[in-house]
Amino acid sequence: MATAATTHKHPNYMAIFWYLAILTVVELAVIFMPLGKFTIGALLCALALGKASLVAMYFMHLRFETRTLGLVAVTPLAIATLLVFLLLPDGFAVVHQTAEKKAAVSTEQPKH
């Protein structure tokens, strides 16, 4: 088993380290960019996913592993995606209600 394991391809770990370090600096730079809140959020999510993929693929050797381990690793991602879609309607409902309340308050104000 161990001899089989030692035949694993070793990627250039230092290159991965520099990619991760650079992506972290980019993340910090993105916060100060004169961009919209949504754009910054989307960029930060994309950068975090990119960094996480680098760690999983190269440090955790997922790129060189069998399909079984790949399937196990992808399962939580699928569940997390499902969870986001399960929670989104609640979030939208609350945001909608808050907006309605604010609108109601602003229309009532001139009467006073």
Partner 1 sequence: MSQAATVHSMVEPAETPLTPESWGKLGMWIFLAGDAVGFGTLLAAYGAMRATSGDWPNPYSVLGINLTAAMTFLLICSSVTMVKALEWLGNGDRARAKVYLFFTALGGAIFVSLQAYEWSHLIHRGLHINGNPWGAALFGTSFFIVTGFHGLHVTGGVIYLVAMIRYVTNRPQPAASYNAVEITGLYWHFVDLVWIMVFTFMYLL
Q: Which residues form the interface with partner 1 (CB under 8 A)?
A: 1-6, 8, 10, 13-14, 16-17, 20-21, 24, 27-28, 30-31, 41, 44-45, 47-48, 51-52, 55-56, 59-61, 65-69, 72-73, 75-76, 79-80, 83-84, 87, 90-91, 94-95, 98
- Cβ proximity to partner 1, 6 vs 106, nearer residue: 6
Contacts of residue 102, defined as CB under 8 A and 6 or more positions apart, other chains included, come to none
**Is-contact 53 44, C-beta < 8 A?**
no
- Cβ proximity to partner 1, 60 vs 110, nearer residue: 60
**Is-contact 73 59, C-beta < 8 A?**
no
CB of 39 to partner 1, least distance (A): 12
CA dihedral of residues 57, 60, 61, 62 (deg, nearest 10): -60
Contacts of residue 24, defined as CB under 8 A and 6 or more positions apart, other chains included, come to 51
- Cβ proximity to partner 1, 105 vs 110, nearer residue: 105
- Cβ proximity to partner 1, 12 vs 107, nearer residue: 12
